[in-house]
């Protein structure tokens, strides 16, 4: 496979698992094409043409020749300059790493993180929140994320990859979609009665089981083990980053009893508690690893050697 083929496979898999469904993704791409068609002059030149075929602004080929044939990858959740130097040193020892794959975004993909958060609006609609209300609730949060990342050193790690001439890509929301879809389907017929049942079900998944042993597994942020779970939904799991805290009230009104999320700030925990909504946190690295592993299985099946690092809990569900 080439770098381009790896990238395209991730986007295709992400679309297939997207909470919005195929039609929802097609609508998003249609809006992007309409926006592009209405631009003129410099604004049209500045438009990222990748957005016309990839609905995930936080996933891009950041550096390197996309036609490069790949035999081995280094993949991690948080890739920084240290991991770039690590890859270079491993290559000096004969590892032959062809491309580095980061999960969390860098470069222009980080700068555009807020753009992918509209996915959360439509996901809330899937859970029964009127879409106009979900959009209103998320609008301020999306602006907040944009302002927060505006001052970041977006290209620090990309520059390290460029100086060491190491191809570098990031795949974020597409792989989070894979994790979201897996967990959603996994819980579909489980019908847990109590929160302790939710925790036990999560423990059945190897990534979370290993994370428990590492003191970073699923935990209860709101609710007790014997609390009734009610309707369980996997939210706050994909679509860029943590959404709006006000969404907990809307989810509770829509009949949700328990939210499973990757992570939650103290501000979110307090709001969920205020709304009497149970909050189960599955664990950030374990949750990211779940989606990453589903993708890596596909790469290994195609003959690519994988070197996991930076928090990836590697679990294989297919024979390499």
Instruction: Name the residue among 47, 236, 273 with its Cα closest to residue 138.
Output: 236
The pLDDT of residue 189 is 86
> What is the rounded average pLDDT of the residues 281-288?
98
Examine the pLDDT at 156 and tell me if it is beyond 90: yes
- CB-based burial of residue 264 (10 Å sphere; 0-12 exposed, 13-18 middle, 19+ buried)? buried
The mean predicted confidence, pLDDT, of the chain is 96
- pLDDT above 70 coverage of the chain, percent: 99
> What is the rounded average pLDDT of the residues 299-305?
97
Instruction: Compute the half-sphere exposure of residue 44: CA atoms within 13 Å on the CB side of its CA.
Output: 8
**Tens of pLDDT along 25-39?**
999 999 999 999 999
* Measured CA angle at 78 (ends 73, 83), to 5 deg: 55
Instruction: Compute the half-sphere exposure of residue 112: CA atoms within 13 Å on the CB side of its CA.
Output: 19
**Three-state DSSP class for residue 281:** strand
Distance, C-alpha 301 to centroid of its chain: 22
The pLDDT of residue 274 is 98
Of the pLDDT bands very low, low, confident and very high (cuts 50, 70, 90), residue 319 is low
Go through the domains of the chain in sequence order and give each one's CATH number. 3-175+287-309 (3.40.1390.30), 180-284 (3.40.1390.30)
**Tens of pLDDT along 71-102?**
999 999 999 999 999 999 999 999 999 999 99
Please tell me the distance from the alpha carbon of residue 30 to that of residue 34, in angstroms, as a whole number: 6
**Three-state DSSP class for residue 14:** helix
Please tell me the distance from the alpha carbon of residue 174 to that of residue 184, in angstroms, as a whole number: 15
Examine the pLDDT at 318 and tell me if it is beyond 90: no
The pLDDT of residue 307 is 98
Examine the pLDDT at 320 and tell me if it is beyond 60: no
The pLDDT of residue 256 is 98
Please tell me the distance from the alpha carbon of residue 210 to that of residue 289, in angstroms, as a whole number: 11
Instruction: Name the residue among 192, 184, 189, 190 with its Cα closest to residue 290.
Output: 184
Question: 211-216 contacts: CB < 8 A, separation 24 or more?
Answer: 211/283, 211/285, 211/286, 211/313, 216/283, 216/284, 216/285, 216/286
**Tens of pLDDT along 171-223?**
999 999 999 999 999 999 898 999 999 999 999 999 999 999 999 999 999 99
The pLDDT of residue 128 is 95
**Tens of pLDDT along 218-253?**
999 999 999 999 999 999 899 999 999 999 999 999
């Amino acid at each position: 496979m080439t770098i381009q083929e790896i990238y395209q496979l991730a986007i295709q898999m992400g679309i297939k698992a997207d909470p919005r469904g195929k039609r929802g993704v097609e609508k998003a791409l249609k809006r992007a094409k309409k926006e592009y068609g209405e631009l003129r002059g410099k604004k049209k030149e500045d438009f990222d043409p990748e957005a016309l075929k990839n609905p995930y602004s936080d996933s891009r080929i950041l550096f390197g020749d996309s036609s490069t044939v790949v035999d081995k990858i280094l993949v991690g959740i948080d890739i920084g300059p240290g991991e770039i130097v690590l890859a270079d040193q491993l290559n000096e020892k004969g590892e032959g790493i062809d491309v580095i794959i980061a999960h969390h975004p860098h470069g222009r993909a980080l700068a555009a993180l807020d753009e992918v958060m509209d996915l959360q609006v439509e996901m809330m609609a899937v859970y029964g929140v009127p879409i106009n209300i979900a959009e209103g609730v998320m609008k301020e949060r999306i602006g907040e994320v944009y302002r927060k990342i505006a001052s970041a050193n977006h290209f620090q790690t990309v520059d390290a990859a460029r100086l060491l001439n190491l191809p570098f890509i990031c795949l974020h929301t597409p792989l989070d979609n894979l994790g979201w879809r897996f967990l959603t389907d996994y819980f579909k017929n489980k019908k847990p009665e109590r929160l302790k049942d939710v925790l036990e079900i999560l423990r059945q998944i190897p990534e979370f089981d290993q994370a428990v042993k590492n003191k970073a597994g699923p935990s209860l942020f709101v609710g007790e083990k014997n609390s009734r779970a009610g309707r369980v939904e996997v939210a706050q799991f994909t679509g860029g980053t943590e959404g709006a805290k006000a969404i907990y009230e809307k989810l509770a009104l829509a009949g949700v009893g328990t939210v499973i999320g990757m992570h939650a700030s103290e501000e979110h925990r307090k709001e969920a508690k205020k709304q009497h909504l149970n909050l189960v946190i599955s664990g950030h690295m374990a949750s990211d690893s779940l989606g990453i592993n589903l993708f890596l299985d596909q790469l290994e099946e195609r003959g690519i050697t994988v070197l996991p690092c930076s928090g990836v809990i590697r679990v294989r569900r297919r024979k390499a």
